[in-house]
Amino acid sequence: MPSDEEKDNEPTKAPDVLPWNVRHKGVRTDKYPARRENPSPSDSQPNETLRREVESDVLEFDSATCFDQYCFTHRPISWRREIVVTGDAFRDTHDLPLRRRNTATMVVHFDLTAWRKPESAAGSSAPAIMIGAFVAFGGILFGYDTGTISGIIAMRWWLDHFSTGSRDDDGLLSITPTQSSEIVSILSAGTFFGALLAAPVGDRIGRRKSLMLAVLVFCLGVAMQTASTTIRLFAAGRFIAGMGVGTISVLVPLYQSEMAPKWIRGALVCCYQLAITVGLFIAAVVNYLTSNLDSANCFRIPVAIQFIWAGILLIGLIILPETPRYLIKREMHAEAAASLSRIRRLDITHPALIEEIAEIEANHAYELSLGPSTYRDVFRGTPHLGLRVMTGCGLQMLQQLSGCNFVFYYGTTFFKHAGIESPFTYSLVTNVVNVACTLPGMFLVEAWGRRRLLLVGAVGMAASQLIVATVGTAFGSQPDIQVWNKVMVAFVCLYIAFFAMSWGPVVWVVTSEIYPLKVRAKSMSISTATNWLFNWAIAYATPYLVNNGPGYADLGAKVFFLWGTFCVAAIFFVWFLVFETSKISLEQIDELYERVDHAWQSTSFQPSWSFQYIQENEAGQASGVSLADRSEARRRAAEENSAAVGGIHAHDTESTHGITPTPTGSSQATSSATSSATETEEDKIIASLGNVNFTF
């Protein structure tokens, strides 16, 4: 006689492929058309991209209402269901057979297939990946210029010849904390204005040409620094170079996100942060090698090397294409098709390329139908542009307030004042950790998603910073100070590791994705300018916070309490405001912000709109309520689905809006007349059943 547990785990006869009218954590979707066009083979085996076992309250099957292998009643029971997601939203999802289970479980496994190209993706992704990786080279300019100054202002020869008469505690020539603040922070002041200029220039002459112009401006600033003999000329050169860096910091992630395939977009934008860390590391190495030179070469060599990075990027930009989305924004449709053909390595007449271009065009037209694209509309436009800008600015602000640039700007000086031997060596170690730990972040941003990685990173950074502050405060005056200093350095490195895997790259990924095309450059420039504004504030204020003497806070290691507190605040910010944007196209992010009311529900989102269909519907080619009236659509959907979890609603059900659901990316289903003409017996049975919901 089998036991109760054996009965519970005994496989139950049920169809291998369930109908796809699903409610998933509050997300309601109607996907029968997509499933009929993209069926799962009955003998298909799951791959290893993402495996989830979830507890499901589904409908038990008997002979009450049947077609082919599907039979329905309305008696909910508990099933254990395993789902394998292979990439492109619901179109690449496969089910395994159901079996009874009483206890709810959820287990998530990941392997190293997050970068696997979906089988449904036409063409080649290699050109886009190579272009995105090369453009990321702009991050080296950013990182290297940021990293050199920490070592230069600590070099003995530079202090002796650029000092205005100030002396340190040992009686040696030095610069004042005010001068140190001005020299370090002036770059960030330039980047702030450069970031704001990136939007009008980038929208006017294009992403590629704007990057070339920014590189030339950067070279002018580098030339001024190399030739400088006074602090004023050196600072002026850093300001000019900063304007170029600021423009580059906006346009590189923007360029990458607009041309990258959606399945690897996050990893490609992470290459920008990887390049920044490589630049910081190279700067630390060069500073280490030149720090003891007894001539002007000690600072001129590190500064002049920047011409090499700028030259490589400038030459490459000459032959790279403009982004298709920018060309569509400028109504240059033929050029956009040619550019996308080059990036995807598809013939210009290929159906997949035509479909992608048509969807981008329709999405842009839909965005324009919601209102203009002025700076005022960046904050007040729809769908939820104000929320998106607040999210982008908040992420960039918290990235800086986490204290990352305190380590890279003043790490050498901080380690020296803390009594740590060989501060240049430890500064080099932090840069090695920064580079090494950015690499796993490039995988995790696709495997875990943006939200989870930001949350884990914020928790790890907060814990590490608070430990550094506690150790430095409690044991900084102990006789065995060198032991505690090593503990402190270890947790500084752990903090850098968490930052490099999460907040370093992912902030740039999210802020390059969440804005619609019509205001993407403006919104990105505002959020990036926020980064540089707080970068400047931290660079300017830090000497006053950590130095000792009259008028200074003399916090020392206590400053890590401040950074740790902001990391705790970052946890709540991500939970409430950051939406999950991985594995969906830039155009589908508009749908995400329309249909999902709360950020913590966004991980369950499945795209279902076709902007081509919406455009046709709003032009009068289909009947029903206009999809532009989002508040009314949400109200109606909520009334019909009172049992729905959260605030995520479907706007595309026929009973509510008079609109036939159309799967994203399917040109064959964009016409309601065609759908009705080819209606099958399966459709009629599904319609007679109404909305059959599976909650899991």
Least confident interval from 13-22, 200-209, 423-432:
13-22
| Statement: residue 399 has pLDDT above 80 | yes
DSSP 3: -
Q: In this predicted structure, what is the pLDDT of residue 572?
A: 96
| Statement: residue 141 has pLDDT above 50 | yes
Q: In this predicted structure, what is the pLDDT of residue 616?
A: 58
Residue ranges of alpha helices (H) inside 578-629 are 586-595, 611-616
Least confident interval from 122-136, 404-418, 598-612, 631-645:
631-645
Measured CA to CA, the distance from residue 627 to residue 399 in angstroms comes to 37
| Statement: residue 457 has pLDDT above 80 | yes
> pTM of the entire structure?
0.65
Least confident interval from 20-24, 348-352, 459-463:
20-24
| Statement: residue 89 has pLDDT above 80 | no
Measured CA to CA, the distance from residue 34 to residue 692 in angstroms comes to 16
Least confident interval from 260-274, 296-310, 562-576:
260-274
Rounded mean pLDDT of 111-128? 66
CB-based contact 548:571 (threshold 8 Å) = no
Q: In this predicted structure, what is the pLDDT of residue 368?
A: 76
612-615, long-range: CB within 8 Å, 24+ apart, which pairs?
612/358, 612/359, 612/362, 612/667, 612/670, 613/662, 613/669, 613/670, 614/362, 614/366, 615/362, 615/365, 615/366
Rounded mean pLDDT of 93-117? 42
Rounded mean pLDDT of 399-416? 81
Task: Write out the two tokens for 110.
Answer: 């990941």
Q: In this predicted structure, what is the pLDDT of residue 477?
A: 58
| Statement: residue 677 has pLDDT above 70 | no
CB-based contact 254:207 (threshold 8 Å) = yes
The angle subtended at Cα 83 by Cα 78 and Cα 88, nearest 5°, is: 140
Measured CA to CA, the distance from residue 251 to residue 253 in angstroms comes to 6
Rounded mean pLDDT of 579-585? 86
- Say which amino acid occupies 112: L
| Tens digits of residue pLDDT in 191-220 | 999 999 998 999 899 999 999 999 999 999
Q: In this predicted structure, what is the pLDDT of residue 223?
A: 95
Nearest residue to 562 via CA among 468, 489, 487: 468
| Tens digits of residue pLDDT in 524-569 | 999 999 999 998 888 788 878 877 777 777 787 888 999 999 999 9
Rounded mean pLDDT of 318-332? 90
Q: In this predicted structure, what is the pLDDT of residue 476?
A: 60
Q: In this predicted structure, what is the pLDDT of residue 106?
A: 33
